[in-house]
A and B are shown apart, each in its own frame.
Chain A
Amino acid sequence: MEAIKVEHLVKEYTIVKKEKGLGGAVKGLFAPKKEVVRAVDDISFVIPKGEITAFIGPNGAGKSTTVKMMSGILTPTSGSVLIKGKNPATQRKEVVQNLGVVFGQRTQLNWDLRLGESFELMRHIYQIEPSLYEENMKMMDQILGISEFINTPVRQLSLGQRMRGDLVSAMLHSPDIIFLDEPTIGLDVEGKYAIRKFIKEINRVKGTTIILTTHDLQDIEELCKRLIIINRGKIMEDGPLEALIDRIAPYKELVVVYFDEEFAEHEKAEIVSREGNIVTYRFEKKEMTGARLICDLSEKKKFKDATIKETKIEDIIRIAYAEQI
């Protein structure tokens, strides 16, 4: 059975438009201008068990709203969500018993007390067996090194430490599915590395199904086989990262440094730029390989150096965000 099934999911909000100044405020009181906004507009997808999927999209695209509907926080306007066959809107307690959710922007830890106390609270809330609790704590400590700061009050933790604490707290009851909403936001290189390692390990060892939303493209490159791009509440793209790259940038570039201003040409590679002895060729990935092109060119004319350039993921995502259905 699939871990998550979302069908024709819609979430609408009513927002009241305010006009400027006191006059506008009075007007808004008597004749409020209401506007219905579709934050999530008819999206459907299925996530199989054990998959790591990234939700990406610009700010305000509907990612968090979707995650919040999947975790039972928001009630959908229409459409359905099934988490292991159960509806989080009506069977919230059963669904969350098997779910771990972390919001990068908001901690769920007890601010005033030492970190360990928040973990103990989870043990009581989820009624975790002592042996499982010990085992999970040991595993988390190995990956995230939390024993270093487990006795520090949460308010005194650094952002990176707090984030690790939040991840542990969400994993202690061994959920089958976890949602991570911007888990690497604001973290330094070391922090991001630890979180990514954690996600990979949990997925590998426990087969946990993971959905994460992120703005960090390195998260996607390192972690996710599958990418869902959400923009203006709709799914713009759903598939492996490679497929997206192939669609938006089906070509690569080869930069060749010749010994002098003379250079070779090739019928399957277009010359996009030439500066002195440096020539940049562009070739379709389907028709040509980099090795073949280097080989062909070097037969025609000797050169010093050749570099294959892939289109940057950043540029690909930017192009994808700008597309409209």
Chain B
Amino acid sequence: MKSVRHYLDVTFYNIRLALMTILEYPGDFLGWLLSNPIQFVVGFATIRFVVQEFGTINGWDQGQLAFLYGISVISHAFSMMLFVQGWFMGYYVVEGEFDRYMLRPLSVLYQFFFTNFNVFGITDLIPGICVFAYGCMQVHFAWNISRVAAVLLLIAGATMIRGGIYIFMGTFSFWTKSVNDFAGFTQEFFDKTTMYPLTMYPKAMQFVLTYLIPIGWISFYPAEGLLKGINTGVIFTFFIGVVVLAFAGIFFQYGLTRYESAGH
């Protein structure tokens, strides 16, 4: 209990520092606020174009696709706020930037993510919510308490799956000793696999994205369930999220014993 309060206290202070940093460089924030949503507007425009040309994608109409895409973007936004540092873990490993976190009496992984709390993630959240709301209207999604809970559980689970995968990929830097900048690749890959129905991909890829790298559980399976009126599917997403994140954390701790800092 004492340690939970300790972590919360530091978290709030870190968020304050992040906001102060934005005020220190207001131009940066404005730039993100303008440029980031465009990326998703373009993304959704692509979907609309495809749907208008072909009617549906694998039996999913425009409203259903917006619903799916909205979940994908919202969970992306949260993963950007909490876990975006994972993309740059290689840099921290090679440059010895973990030193300072290891000198403080808090979990290294916690400090890694929360010391640089990324407020810019909010700029992704706005288009995500817009697209999702549009999708909900189109499919006449009937909101009630259990559905609100289901969507919240889903977003939490999906964010954890994404974060866990970032940590996993970053942790390999402890072995490769290279900067491994996989930001662009990951973004592309997650985009392509979470914004379209998984069933449009070949069977082998569906298998991989369901059982080996659980990306299918970020948006496709839970969205499919919710659209059919099944709420319980999201529990899988949440559960898988917890497992992936826990596993990634253990893997990271193991990687950290191989940390070599920089310069001897």
Contact = CB atoms under 8 A, between A and B. Distances in A.
Interface of A: 13, 39, 60, 62, 64-65, 68, 71-75, 89, 92-94, 96-97, 99, 101, 103, 105-106, 108, 110, 112-113, 117, 120-121, 124-127, 153
Contacts, number: 72
B24 A126 contact: no
A99 B13 CA distance: 22
Interface string B16-35: 01001100110000000000
Contacts of B106: 93, 125
A72 B102 contact: yes
A68 B13 contact: no
Interface centre among B9, B24, B105, B258 (most CB of A within 10 A): B105
A92 B256 CA distance: 12
Interface string B71-107: 0000000000000000000000000101110111110
Given A96-B105, A125-B10, A126-B105, A65 B264 contact: yes
Nearest to A66: B264
B105 A74 contact: no
Q: Which 9 A-B pairs have the closest CB atoms?
A: A97-B105, A93-B105, A124-B13, A108-B100, A75-B257, A65-B264, A73-B102, A124-B10, A101-B103
B167 to A, nearest CB: 19
A68 B10 contact: no
A109 to B, nearest CB: 10
B202 interface: no
B261 interface: yes
B99 A110 contact: no
B239 interface: no
B263 interface: yes
Contacts of A101: 103
Contacts of A60: 264
B9 A127 contact: yes
23 contacts: A13-B260, A60-B264, A62-B264, A64-B263, A65-B264, A73-B98, A73-B99, A73-B103, A75-B257, A75-B258, A75-B259, A89-B257, A96-B105, A97-B105, A103-B99, A105-B263, A108-B103, A110-B17, A112-B25, A117-B17, A125-B105, A125-B106, A126-B104
